[in-house]
Amino acid sequence: MRDDSGVLKNDGTINHRKLGRLISTIEHDRQRATELLASMVSDYPSIVIGITGPPGAGKSSLTDGLIVEYRKAGKRVAVIAVDPSSPFSGGAILGDRIRMSSHNTDPEVFIRSMGSRGSLGGLAPASMDVVSLLRNFNFDIIIIETVGVGQSEIDVMKAADTVLLVLVPGMGDDVQALKAGIMEIADIFVVNKADKDGRERLLAELQMIIELNRRQLDWIPPIVETVATERKGVASLVEQMSQRADFVKKNRDTIWRPRVESQIMQMMQEKTGSDILAIFKGHSIFNDWIERILSGELNLYQVLQKIESHLKISWRDENE
């Protein structure tokens, strides 16, 4: 851990206000974010949990239940509530819902919302940055909660060691629609509101999906039933997650290598994007081309070909 920021108080607890401000800084200034995070030594063994699923599945109640369990065990817990459809950061809807619960006064529980507006260059790299920052401040458990199951959410989930896909009985067509992408992201299936009608059908569907994919899987996702509002099944979920954490530790290379590669690619793409923008701003020809597209004289792809012939990307070995 490295801390020049005063986030860590003298008694070892977290100054929430200062941590919040530090997060705002890295959300709004990518260059500063890279510098700051590069200076940190993040070898703290945080466990990063992603919670996703359709609206109404009870993700916030489940998050709340998990916080209670982990606090019982004396863990320091952070929650990042990511809402790609919200432009707000800091105090948005999702975070509020969790914050309103009993953890508000607990100094060892930090809750932060992230919307799409605050994060230049996409939520996925921004949430990755925030996870790295939280790791530096020795959070044992970092929970990333999202609102939906779209592509943005799937990208965000790539920062997690373990992804819980939360479903509820009686979703019918919605589960059908989710099916396709389900195995790609879920490490543990959580059937929440397991006291509702349609439980058996949902369990059978999930078991079928797992069976169909069993041979390609290194990790067979367990199915855990919960009634999060009554705290039922949460302890058993924590137990399953601890098994998953062991698996991730043993298979770190297989699981994380492709993610690290794609994270670097994504971050580089973002960086070159702003470099290109700077180049364009300095050339009036770019403006001329836009005019010609708007007047119908050129199409987008013709301009793209022109730009490609001007732009050169190269690798300098000298300072290697």
Among residue numbers 202 through 221, which ones bind a copy of itself (CB under 8 A)? none
> For a copy of itself, which stretch binds (CB under 8 A), given 57-65, 82-90, 106-114, 216-224?
82-90
Which residues does residue 126 pair with via DSSP β-bridges, in sequence order? none
Does residue 228 touch a copy of itself according to CB under 8 A? no
Least spacing, CB of residue 238 vs a copy of itself, in Å = 26
**Beta carbons of 82 and 114 less than 8 angstroms apart:** yes
Least spacing, CB of residue 20 vs a copy of itself, in Å = 20
Looking at residue 212, its amino acid is L
Residues 73, 177, 204, 235: which binds a copy of itself (CB under 8 A)? 177
Please provide the distance, in angstroms rounded to a whole number, between the alpha carbons at the two ends of the chain. 28
**Beta carbons of 168 and 229 less than 8 angstroms apart:** no
CB nearer to a copy of itself: give 247 or 256: 256
CB nearer to a copy of itself: give 45 or 74: 45
Q: What angle, 0 to 180 degrees and rounded to 10, lies between the N-to-C axes of helices 123-136 and 16-28?
A: 140
> For a copy of itself, which stretch binds (CB under 8 A), given 8-16, 199-207, 220-228, 279-287?
279-287
| Residue in 147, 185, 22 with CA at minimum distance from that of residue 90 | 22
| Residue in 76, 74, 77 with CA at minimum distance from that of residue 63 | 77
Least spacing, CB of residue 274 vs a copy of itself, in Å = 9
Q: CA 200 to CA 221: how far, in whole Å?
A: 18
Does residue 149 touch a copy of itself according to CB under 8 A? yes
Does residue 116 touch a copy of itself according to CB under 8 A? yes
3-state secondary structure string, 92-151?
A: CHHHHHHHCCHHHHCCCEEEEEEECCCCCCCHHHHHHHHHHHHHHCCCCEEEEEECCCCH
**Segment 40 to 79, residues that bind a copy of itself, using CB under 8 A:** 40-43, 54-55
Least spacing, CB of residue 110 vs a copy of itself, in Å = 21
Does residue 153 touch a copy of itself according to CB under 8 A? yes
Q: Pattern of binders to a copy of itself over 237-256, x per CB under 8 A?
A: ---------------xx--x
**Segment 292 to 311, residues that bind a copy of itself, using CB under 8 A:** 293-294, 296, 299-305, 307-311
Does residue 4 touch a copy of itself according to CB under 8 A? no
Q: 159: how many CB neighbours lie within 10 A of its CB?
A: 23
**Segment 20 to 39, residues that bind a copy of itself, using CB under 8 A:** 33-35, 37-38
Q: CA 244 to CA 240: how far, in whole Å?
A: 6
Least spacing, CB of residue 258 vs a copy of itself, in Å = 10
DSSP designation for 108: T
Least spacing, CB of residue 213 vs a copy of itself, in Å = 13
| Residue in 1, 24, 174, 142 with CA at minimum distance from that of residue 89 | 24
Least spacing, CB of residue 257 vs a copy of itself, in Å = 6
CB nearer to a copy of itself: give 208 or 264: 264
| Residue in 40, 59, 61 with CA at minimum distance from that of residue 51 | 59
